[in-house]
Every structure is written in C-alpha cells, then in structure tokens.
Amino acid sequence: MSLALWQSIPLACVLLPLGSAALTAFLPGRWARRWCLLALALITGLSAVFVLRIWSFGRSYTYPMGHYPAPWGNELRAGPLEAAAGLVFALVMLLSMLGGLGWLDRHIAEEKHALYCALMLLLCASLQAQVYTNDLFTAYVFIEIMTLAAAVLIAVRSSGPALLAATRYMIMNLIASALFLLGVILLYDLTGHLLMEPIHIKVQELAASGAYHLPLTVVVAVMASGLAIKSALFPFHTWVPGAYGTSTPASAAVLSGLVSKGYIFLLLKVFHRVIGLETIAQTGIGDVLLFFGLAGMICGSVAALSQCDLRRMLAWSSVAQIGYIFAGLGLGTEAGLSAAVVHMLAHAACKSLLFISAGGLYTGESGDTDFSRLSGAALSAPLAGAGFTIGALSIIGLPFLGGFTSKLALAQAAAAIGGPGGWAVLICLILSTLLNVLYFFRALLILWKRGETAPGHPPLTHRTASGLAVTALSLLNFAIGVLAVPLLQLVRSGLGLLD
C-alpha cells in the first residue's frame, strides 16, 4: 500500500516536537520561547490540515514505521477520532504556552526558560504519540516521558510546596506506571503481541472460548487502575490540588487540560481497540470505574465548594470533571464512550481557559489567589475576567458552550442505558451541576464585585499574547459548543459507529 504525503502528518506531529525539544534546550531563553511557539503552531496547523484530509478520506489507516510490515514493525494508527484529539491537544497547548508567558517571566529565571520550553515540547510529543501510537509498549514509553516532563513542570517554580507537589505526583505516578507495564506484559504473555489489532483478535478468541477469564480481568484491572491513578480519578486524586495549585499558570493549564486527558485517551483505546467493550463488560471493571467516576463528580464538587483559594478550587473542579469522563467510560456503551471523548475535549478547552485567565486575575507580586484578596479583580482586568466567566459557564454547561455539549451527550448515553446505573449517572450529573453553579457563581460574584478594587499585580510582560490566548480559548469553547453535531459525528465515526 502506498501512502500519500498527508498520511505522514501523525509521524511529523511526534517527531517535530521531539527534535525541537532537543534543540530548544541549547538555545538562549528568548529564541527557545520563539522556537517552542513556532513548533507548537506548526503542529497545530498540520493537525488542522490532517483533520480536513481524514474527514474527506473517511476512515482510519495504519502507518507502518520504517515500512516494516505488521508483526515486526512499530505502527501508528490515525482516524477521525485521533485527528480531532491531536488537533485539540496541540491547539490548547499552544494557547496555554502563549497565555502563560507573562507569569513565566516572573516565576522562572530567564536562564531556565529554554529548559521549560524543552519540557513543554516533550510533553507535546508524548501526547501526540499516545494519541497516534498503535503499539502498547511505545505507549508505555511515552507515558513515562509525559510523567517525567509533567513532574518537572510542577517542580520548576522551585518553591518548597511546588517541590513537594512534584514529589507526591512522582510517587503516585511511578506506582501507576509499574501497574500499567505489568498489564502490558501480562497481555503480551497471553497473546504474544504488542500491536493493538493482533491483540484484539487474540483477546476476542480467548473471550469467546472462555479460557483465561481471570488473567484477562487482572490485565484490564491493572491497566485501568494504572491509567486511572495517572489521570487522577477520585480516590487517587490526592496529588491534584497541590500540583495544579502551586505551579505556574502555563503548567497548571497544560497539566489539568491535557496531561490527564492523554492517559484517558490511551485508556479509551485500550478499552475500545485492544480489549473490546464486550470483554470489558464481562470483567465488570466498567462498573468500578463508573462508581468511582460518580463518587468523584460529587466529592470533587463538594471539596471545590469549600476552598478559599481560586487555583485550588479549579483543581478540585478538575477532579470532578475527570469523574464525568470516567462515568462516560464506565457506562460501557459506545454512546458513553463518545460522550467521554467529547467531555475530554470540552474540558481540555475550558479548564485551560480558566487557568490561563485566572493568571490575569492574580494579585500581588507573586500571584496571590486567596478569595479574600480577589474582590473586584475582574473589573481591573476585564478581558481575563470575561475569559474566566466564559470558562466557568462552559463547565457549568450553558448552551452554546463546550460543557453543554458533553453533559448533554453524557445524559443521553445514561438515559439510553436506563436501569440503576443510568439513573445514578443522571442524578449525580444534576447534583454535580448544581454544585458547579454554586461554587463558580460564588467565585464570579467575588471577582466582579463592584466598589472594591483588588490591588492588582504589577503589569506583566507579554500582555498581547495572553489576551490573544484568552480570546482564542474562549472562541474554542464556543466552537465546541456550536459545532456540537459535527463533532459528535466525527467522534462516533472515529469510534467505528458509522462505518
């Protein structure tokens, strides 16, 4: 099979940031920032072209690396679903970096900017690789690269709490990596393959014959729990508030918006493409994920309500939103999966908008985010305030915004299932939305409080860039909300519903 030039774009999306990361580490800070932004913009552009091409191509294809045939060579696989995720991840990363430049100057010494850019690019490469790879061991290696890059992005402020948060993050993630690797090895031992399609065929044979039921359950359990720990599903969320609450805005936006999503996307591929939804249903792991997802939806929102710090409130809100995604995965139907994917993309867009625009609202020299000092902050920085408001409304689920699309899709998927599981999802969805309204409106009322003006922070550098980023991220939220129907169609065709 001969490949068209555009079919190499996924490979370029992985290799370009990898090469750029090695290069930027040696550039002076200013040029490193420029190169990093240029590379991210290039990847975003390429991904956009790729989405259009794959939309007209209409199906997915495998890309043999180095043109070695299937059982021997490594493979990438790309279809509508991967293309959409790749585009949103690249775009959000570019805008987060752009919007966080101002605080980067204040939080990180100039001579370390090159290394920061290198880490961002490594993160980008590993995200793209997790989206496109068709090989479980390659996925493991890029998971580890992402974990290391993310840990250093947390620690880079070198304040005590940031170092502690990075250490906690590393400890949890190392346990999770070991579990995931164990799952990959067990699966290799059972099937003799590392590529996703051959494993899928063998697993279906095993499931049909009824042999190895227990080992298959163990495989699904260790892989799901490994990736759930990494993406901060509810009982494993302890590192989240510290990690998102202490890092610089660009790091927080990327960590909450993208890093956890990369792992979830991989879990989705494992469920859908490697093991198969029917086999997952037999193991009962989906119900466990559903339970913890629902628990996270409620507990994360309740905890967010009791925070007196803006950034920590956003971090707890992330815990709740991850709960939504896992609830969608746990439903175990393809409607549930597509709701999970749409929520993943919508949350990537709105949580990064919230963290970036919150960066424009911080007060004081070092960026204080205690609510007691934020009253009227939005009035002194109207653009950031507007961005924060749009993000908050999107998470709450106002129509024409991203959050509405995904919550509606999740509710429809739950209603289609019915039974106690479906009802539980619907009830938790309503409860959690009410809690969202409560804590976000409290924040909005404080931020837009008339009469008092917050002290404000000394003017940051790169104001145009951050204004541009906030505007673009707001538009992205509107785009996901308005283009809901084609987006859902894209995701469903990517999941193989329409083919």
Residues 161-180 that bind another protein (CB under 8 A): 161, 163-164, 166-167, 170-171, 174-175, 177-178
Among 39, 76, 131, 181, the residue binding another protein under the rule CB under 8 A is: 181
**Is 11 one of the binding residues for another protein (CB under 8 A)?**
no
Three-class SS of the chain: CCCCHHHHHHHHHHHHHHHHHHHHCCCCHHHHHHHHHHHHHHHHHHHHHHHHHHHHHCCCEEEEHHHCCCCCCCEEEECHHHHHHHHHHHHHHHHHHHHHHHHHHHHCCHHHHHHHHHHHHHHHHHHHHHHHECEHHHHHHHHHHHHHHHHHHHHCCCCHHHHHHHHHHHHHHHHHHHHHHHHHHHHHHHHCCCEHHHHHHHHHHHHHHCCCHHHHHHHHHHHHHHHHHHCCCHHHCCCHHHHHHHCCHHHHHHHHHHHHHHHHHHHHHHHHHHHCHHHHHHHCHHHHHHHHHHHHHHHHHHHHHCCCEHHHHHHHHHHHHHHHHHHHHHHCCHHHHHHHHHHHHHHHHHHHHHHHHHHCCCECCCCECEHHHCCCHHHHCHHHHHHHHHHHHHHHCCCCCHHHHHHHHHHHHHHHHCHHHHHHHHHHHHHHHHHHHHHHHHHHHHHCCCCCCCCCCCCCCCHHHHHHHHHHHHHHHHHHHHCHHHHHHHHHHHCCCCC
- Is the distance from CB of 157 to CB of 144 less than 8 angstroms? no
Among 158, 238, 366, 453, the residue binding another protein under the rule CB under 8 A is: 158
Instruction: Pick the closer one to another protein by CB: 370 or 452.
Output: 370
Stretch that binds another protein, among 15-23, 187-195, 231-239, 471-479 (CB under 8 A): 187-195
Closest among 315, 256, 251 to 112, alpha carbons compared: 251
With contacts defined by CB under 8 A, how many residues of the chain interact with another protein? Answer: 28
**Is 147 one of the binding residues for another protein (CB under 8 A)?**
yes
Separation CA 82–CA 269 (nearest Å): 10
Instruction: Pick the closer one to another protein by CB: 60 or 74.
Output: 74
Instruction: Pick the closer one to another protein by CB: 221 or 408.
Output: 221
Stretch that binds another protein, among 108-116, 160-168, 376-384, 387-395 (CB under 8 A): 160-168
Separation CA 342–CA 460 (nearest Å): 34
Among 152, 339, 443, 470, the residue binding another protein under the rule CB under 8 A is: 152
Stretch that binds another protein, among 50-58, 186-194, 319-327, 358-366 (CB under 8 A): 186-194
Q: What is the dihedral of CA 387, 391, 396, 397, to 10 degrees?
A: 100
**Is 197 one of the binding residues for another protein (CB under 8 A)?**
no
**Is 66 one of the binding residues for another protein (CB under 8 A)?**
no
**Is 412 one of the binding residues for another protein (CB under 8 A)?**
no
Among 41, 42, 65, 148, the residue binding another protein under the rule CB under 8 A is: 148
Instruction: Report, in Å, the least distance between residue 300 CB and another protein.
Output: 21
Instruction: Report, in Å, the least distance between residue 147 CB and another protein.
Output: 8
Stretch that binds another protein, among 45-53, 157-165, 229-237, 400-408 (CB under 8 A): 157-165
The torsion angles phi and psi of 78, rounded to 5 degrees, stand at: -135, 140
Q: Using CB under 8 A as the criterion, what x/- string covers residues 98-137 for binding another protein?
A: ---------------------------------------x
**Is 182 one of the binding residues for another protein (CB under 8 A)?**
yes
Instruction: Pick the closer one to another protein by CB: 54 or 143.
Output: 143
Instruction: Pick the closer one to another protein by CB: 152 or 199.
Output: 152
Instruction: Pick the closer one to another protein by CB: 144 or 197.
Output: 144
Phi-psi region of 422 (alpha: psi -120 to 50; beta: other; left: phi over 0): alpha
Instruction: Pick the closer one to another protein by CB: 174 or 438.
Output: 174
Instruction: Report, in Å, the least distance between residue 246 CB and another protein.
Output: 9
**Is 141 one of the binding residues for another protein (CB under 8 A)?**
yes
Instruction: Report, in Å, the least distance between residue 62 CB and another protein.
Output: 20
**Is 206 one of the binding residues for another protein (CB under 8 A)?**
no
Instruction: Pick the closer one to another protein by CB: 145 or 429.
Output: 145
Instruction: Report, in Å, the least distance between residue 119 CB and another protein.
Output: 11
Instruction: Pick the closer one to another protein by CB: 181 or 325.
Output: 181
Instruction: Pick the closer one to another protein by CB: 189 or 205.
Output: 189
Q: By the criterion CB under 8 A, which residues form the site for another protein?
A: 137, 140-141, 144, 147-148, 151-152, 155, 158, 160-161, 163-164, 166-167, 170-171, 174-175, 177-178, 181-182, 185, 188-189, 194
